[in-house]
Every structure is written in structure tokens, then in C-alpha cells.
Chains A and B, each alone.
Chain A
Amino acid sequence: MILSFDQVSKQYSELETAIRQVSFEIEEGEFTALAGPSGSGKSTILNLAAGLDFPTSGTVTLLGQDLRALDKIGLSHLRCNQVGFVFQSYNLFPVLTALENVEYPLALKGVPPKERRKLAEKALEEAGCGTLGKRLPSELSGGQQQRVAIARAIVTTPKIVFADEPTANLDSKTAKMLLEVFKDLNTNKNITFLFSSHDPLVLETAERIIQVADGKVHEDPSNKQQPFIKGLGFRTPPQSLRSTLSYYHS
């Protein structure tokens, strides 16, 4: 088990309870989507999972660590070494080239320049943008920027990558290509993925879907039992996804 939420609630204010008594577990190597409409609490869950924020009650355990037991520096180190993050709006550093952006987490870790460069080039390769290293973010398309952001997230070979609506700003074709990159990394490097989306096309690719609605999660147990078969592409959308799709289409 790589991540677990145990009775986690997050209350921003007396009026605003973002999530209520949320419990779920994620195993190593899973490829999981958080699905749900806007405002349902997806970002909140991801932020709590990465230790960017803390629950009002309940326990978040990441990589065997109770996040509340770690101090700020411990959390920073955990994120720097074991966790990758991909954001909706790419969030590359605009003054750095693609390659330098990918080097950032390695520089933080103190990896020497030569090795850093090599690892960053490899990560760009794996994210499918090996030729774009010299360009500035402003010279890249949205999809390309997101690939660079993925390279930045995986360059330290983290155990788990969190991605908050990674495809929300992209057209569906680009989105799909990007998810294939995720999937490849999941399969080939055994990186666990937890991403959020409300895009049915994206959710289709998920191996497991956790539904978030009104700050609560529920999961169709049926969809967990069908394992993803490597090399055979994506399986048919499970029951829960069908209900999500009908939710969006209604």
C-alpha cells in the first residue's frame, strides 16, 4: 500500500467542508483516477495526499509515513525524492529552458551537473519530448509543456505521481496522447499514478476510478476486480464510469 486515506475530512471554514470522512487505499503500481464534477473535492484530496495541506481530521499515510508526523522539511524532502507533481496549467518556470526545468528537482537534490543533464534528457525522452530540451516554455504548445512537466515530475523516479487535471487545458487528442505517456511510465517504470479529471475521455484510460461527489468518495467495487492486462490497451469503461458518463451527458 502506497497511499491511504483513513476517515479524512477537510473543512476550510465552518460553511465549507470540502471532503467528509474519506477513506481509500492505493496500492503500488496502480493507475487511478479521481472522477467527479467541479467543486467535488478532487484537488483537496490530491493536496492532502501530497502533504501540501493537512486534514482537519483523519490520517493520510503516504509511503508508510503518517504525513502529520513529518515536519515541513521532512515533507519537502519526501516530495522532492519520492513524489512527482503535475499541474493543470503546466507551471513550468518560464525563464528556464525545458531541459533546465526538468533539471530543477535534481538540482534541489544536489545531483552533480553532468549526471543531472543526462537524467533530465532521459526523462524528456520518456515523456516524448526529447527534442525540445533547448526551448523555453513560451516556445512550446500546451501539450508539449505538459510533457515537459511530466518529465520534471518523473526525473527523480518517484514512487508516486499526483496529477491534478493534467489534461483540462488540452484538446482531447493531445490529452489522450499524454495519458498514454502516463500509462507507459506506469507500466514500464512501475510509477503509481493518481490523477483527477472530469473528462470522460481521460477517465476511460483509468484502471481504477474513485468517484468523488460532494466531498465523499464511492467506488464501484466491480471495477477493481478486473485487472488491467498489460499490452492489451484499455479495458471497457467499468460500471462506475458509465454512471459518470451519463452524469455528464445528462
Chain B
Amino acid sequence: MDRYFLKLSWKNIWRNRRRTLLTINAIGFGVMALVALYNYYDGFHDQVIQNVIRYQSGHLLVTAPDYHKRMATQLFMKDPSEVDTWLSSREEVKAFSHRVMVQGLVSTAQGSANIVFAGIEPEREKDVTRFSGNLIQGTYFNDDTEKPIVLGSELANLLQASLGSKVVALTQGVDGSIGNELFYVSGIFETHSDFDKNMAFVHINDARQLLSLGSQASHQLAVVLKNEEGLESVQQSFVSKFGSGPNLPFQILNWKEVQKPLMAMIELNQSANRLLMFIIIFVAALGIANSILMSILERTREFGVMLAIGTTKKEVVKMVVMETVLLSLVGVALGNVLGFLVTEFFHHYGFDLAWLSSQKLVVQGTIIQTISYPEIRWNNSLLVSLIVLVLSLVVSFIPIKHVSRLNPVNALRAL
């Protein structure tokens, strides 16, 4: 088979222009939708993950065993300084920061609320999470306010507190005593998420005092790596250095373990996408099958002529397969070009799925930006193209039965 038959197949697929264009457009549209959607989702998932890493957990989180599951104030690390030393010695580590988390009541004369006081190390935390970037008023622990507290915007409204206002914090310490402390509002942050109404930041030492904890005690040690590749090796060496088990002082979790619900959501999303892909490609394959079958049934007589002048059935089948593959190749090429253009467009202007839902997308108290700027990812194009082409190859064998049943005499009598 040489170029002659390629040309013949090419000309054959254009005998019914309208039908061919329709089929090509169907394939093209399906491929475009899938490629663009996959590019979008990949970008979106990456963004969600980056968000969560940068706003909450960091790449790795060191806690007392079980702390992450139970979030109990009593489960604190008494003296994690040897972990600090070890982390400082690791090449892969970019930054780390301790936190003491306190459940308690915050109140002013105007109101009160049950919130979480996050006791942080302000300077180190800046390198770990981006929370400091959400400040809308005041400063982030760098004026000389005594006992500073940074409130969420909704919380500040509820308490009718403004910069410099006095607020009282009340909680039960780990020893059972009641701790209370006077704070002065030094800043107000806004994230447009639940954090705005149920969270406040204080200095880690003030939080320790509130809970009657020792001067080294910590609930969470969040670690950010220079890049994600180092994740497993750091986690593994940590385990071999400090061990792992319920009776040991430390437990290390990576962000996937910390963010199980988020990962579950992403996986659910991905399987939904895969399902969508199969539906779209299945529909496209039906279109191809229909197109090719019709074009074959119309050409019974021509096949009779081919057989009569010495073409073997195998060669006829080859031609039909070639036509099908050519047809889907054109569709796939079109779809990829369109998918590329759509992705490029949204790469510049951004794409927001928020209009699909009236709710804000919040995962564990963090609002997730739904706007994302997708990038071309060749593996998506390759995957979708390959599946369509393989399926079209499969579909192209449907007419084999018809061809093998052809009898040149009867075929020649056909109109």
C-alpha cells in the first residue's frame, strides 16, 4: 500500500462533505473539551494543593502522636528543640515554624465568640505560610504593642473591636486551671473564609502562658521544603531518626496525610473527569462508527467493482481502516489545536468555575481560589488523542463483517 491508497482514502472521506465535517467537528469538539478541561483541572488541583501547603500545613507537619486526629490541647510536644536542630541541618528544608493552638473564648464588652487562638512565631511563620499577606489593618506583630492579637475581620466586627481595642481571652489550661489574658488588637486580617470569624493570632509565648505550657512546648511544627521532591526523603529520615509510634514524642505527617479530605476531593474530581472522558469519547466513537458505516453501505457497488478487478477483501478492509483513522486523525488534530487555543486563552484571562456553584469552595476552613490560569500539558493532549485514535481503530473494524460478506456479483448488482 503506497501513497496512492492514502490519497484514495483521503478523497473517499470527503465524498460526503457535510457528514465528514460533522463527524470531524464532533471528535474535535470532544477532544478540545477534554484537553481544555484536563488542563484546567490539573492547574486548579495544583493550585489548591499549593494553597493548602502555603496557608496551612506546609509540606510536612510534626506533632505529638495523634494530635492531628484529635486536635486535643493536651497532645503537645514538650520539647521539640532536637527536632529544630535536626531540621536546621537538612539541606531540603526551607523554613519551619512552631504553633500552639488554643480553643477558647474571646470577648469584649460588646460580644464574645468561641474561637481558635493560633499562637505563632511571627518571624518564622512568615516563611512558612502566607497568612501575613492577608492583613487589612494594622501590623503583623511588628509594632511594640504589648500582648498583641490579630483578629479575623468578621470576628473584629462581631466584637466591635478595632486597632488598639482590648479583648479578653479565656480558656482552660492543660493543668485544668482557667487561663485568662488581656490582649490588644494590633491587626485585622481577611481571607474571605471561615478563618475570618473563628480565628485569631497571638504570639506563641502568650499562647503557652494561656495554656500554662512550658517555654518550649508546641502543638504543630510546620515545615516547608525548598521543593516537593525532597518530601519523601525528609519524611523517611525523620522516621529513622526519631522513630514512629504512639509512645514516642513526635509524629511526622506529609501534607497528603494532613489533607486527607482535600486529597479525597481531588481524587473524586479526577475520577469524575475520567468518567466524563469516557462518555465524550464514547459518543465521538459512535459518531465515527456511524459515519464510516454509512459511507460503506453507500459504496457496496464500488466495493463490488474493486473486488471484480482484483482487489482482495483484506485490501478493502485496509482502505476502510485507513479512512477511519484519517477521519479521526483530522478530528483529533482539530481538537488539539482548539484545546491549545482555549487553554492559552484562559492562561491569560483566567478561568473561574465559581459560577457553577453558589457556595464558596472551602476546604478545612481555607477558601480555595476557583479562578485558575491553566497551562498546556502535553500529557493530557497525548492521553486524549491516543484514546480517541485507539478507539477509532477499534471502531473501524466494525465494517469488517460487512466487507467479508460482500459477494462481488451481488455487490455489482447493488445500486
Chain B interface size range: 20 to 34
Asked if B364 is at the interface (CB within 8 A of a chain A CB), the reply is no
Chain B contacts for A95, CB-based, 8 A:
8, 11-12, 14-15
Contact B11 A96 (CB under 8 A): yes
CA of A110 to CA of B3, assembled, Å = 11
Chain A contacts for B2, CB-based, 8 A:
107, 110, 113
Asked if B215 is at the interface (CB within 8 A of a chain A CB), the reply is no
CA of A18 to CA of B173, assembled, Å = 108
Chain B contacts for A52, CB-based, 8 A:
307-308, 408-409, 412
Chain B contacts for A73, CB-based, 8 A:
312
Contact B309 A104 (CB under 8 A): yes
Q: What are 24 A-B interface contacts by the 8 Å CB criterion?
A: A50-B308, A52-B308, A52-B409, A53-B408, A73-B312, A76-B311, A79-B308, A79-B309, A79-B310, A80-B309, A80-B310, A84-B309, A87-B305, A91-B302, A93-B302, A95-B14, A100-B8, A104-B309, A107-B2, A108-B310, A108-B311, A108-B315, A113-B3, A152-B309
- The residue of chain A having its C-beta at the shortest distance from the C-beta of B415 within the complex is A89
Q: Which chain A residues in 28-78 approach chain B with CB under 8 Å?
A: 47, 50, 52-53, 72-73, 76-78
Number of residues from A at the complex interface, CB < 8 A: 32
Contact A107 B4 (CB under 8 A): yes
Q: Which chain B residues in 183-222 approach chain A with CB under 8 Å?
A: none
A39 to chain B, nearest CB (A): 13
- The residue of chain A having its C-beta at the shortest distance from the C-beta of B9 within the complex is A95
Interface of B is mostly: helix
- The residue of chain A having its C-beta at the shortest distance from the C-beta of B313 within the complex is A72
B298 to chain A, nearest CB (A): 11
Chain B residues with CB under 8 Å of chain A are 2-5, 7-8, 11-12, 14-15, 301-302, 305, 307-313, 315, 407-409, 412
B357 to chain A, nearest CB (A): 51
- The residue of chain A having its C-beta at the shortest distance from the C-beta of B411 within the complex is A52
CA of A82 to CA of B195, assembled, Å = 87
Contact A105 B4 (CB under 8 A): no
Chain B contacts for A221, CB-based, 8 A:
none
- The residue of chain A having its C-beta at the shortest distance from the C-beta of B312 within the complex is A76
Chain B contacts for A108, CB-based, 8 A:
310-311, 315
Contact B409 A105 (CB under 8 A): no
B13 to chain A, nearest CB (A): 9
CA of A157 to CA of B302, assembled, Å = 23
CA of A83 to CA of B408, assembled, Å = 15
Contact B4 A113 (CB under 8 A): yes
Asked if A23 is at the interface (CB within 8 A of a chain B CB), the reply is no
B1 to chain A, nearest CB (A): 9
Residue picked from B15, B301, B310, most chain A C-beta under 10 Å: B310
